[in-house]
Amino acid sequence: MSDLSASRLGVTYGDLVAVRPLDLHVPGGRMVSVTGPSGAGKSSLLWALGVALRPAVAAVAGTVSVDGSVLADRDAAARAGVVLVPQRNGLSGTLSAEESILVPLLAMGVPAREALGRVESSLARVGLLESSRHLVDQLSGGQQQRVALARAFALRPAVLLADESTSDLDAGNRELMMAALREEAGRGAAVVLATHDPEAAAETDATLALDEGAATWVRKSIGS
């Protein structure tokens, strides 16, 4: 179980306040959704939680901790097992689906045989085993979202930050991916899902609504 905490976490781009300082605690095993209209600050919050905003782009206030240890930078976040699935999926169009998952595993030092096993099982979880050799550019937007999630699952994240990862999916695949995200929480991960979709949000344990960067809990059954 890995706990994610943010203390007075805020994001500004120059004069624009994208996320007003907020406190957040997502215990391992739980799923929290972040909702709000376009431009409300959902992506900014997820990137800040992933310690992935570059100082040249944004000013980030406050701290993010995993299991009580403050994350100094993106590398520390990666070492703590924080995995961000960005809104535009972050995949390279010229790699195949299986290469997209294999490359980061090998870069992390996962032995080749184990890495190949994880590639296969994670693609099976998202229902894309038969597309494993297809280039990302040859896949639909929804299939690319599923590959991006498969890549995150293969990394066995302690903290999974998924930005609109179900937005391009049909109802059946959305249910499959929500169940897979729930399984990640069941494995002990702290899961945060940014979503426009009220049905997806309703399936999480708690919902934090953002409006012009200001956060309000609209549903909450976990400690903060």
Ligand X SMILES: Nc1ncnc2c1ncn2[C@@H]1O[C@H](COP(=O)(O)OP(=O)(O)OP(=O)(O)O)[C@@H](O)[C@H]1O
Residue 65: its H or E element: strand 59-66
Residue 177: its H or E element: helix 171-186
Question: What is the smallest separation between the CB atom of 3 and ligand X, expressed in angstroms?
Answer: 24
Looking at the Cβ atoms of 45 and 83, the one nearer to ligand X is 45
Looking at the Cβ atoms of 18 and 82, the one nearer to ligand X is 18
Question: What is the smallest separation between the CB atom of 160 and ligand X, expressed in angstroms?
Answer: 17
Looking at the Cβ atoms of 130 and 211, the one nearer to ligand X is 211
Question: What is the smallest separation between the CB atom of 215 and ligand X, expressed in angstroms?
Answer: 12
Looking at the Cβ atoms of 56 and 107, the one nearer to ligand X is 56
Question: What is the smallest separation between the CB atom of 74 and ligand X, expressed in angstroms?
Answer: 16
| Tokens found for residue 79 | 């070492």
- Nearest to 190, CA basis, from 50, 55, 61: 50
**Pairing assessment for the beta strands 82-85 and 69-70 based on DSSP bridges:** unpaired
Residues that bind ligand X (CB under 6 A): 13, 16, 18, 36, 38-44, 57, 87
> What's the angle, vertex CA 180, arms to CA 35 and CA 24, rounded to 5?
40
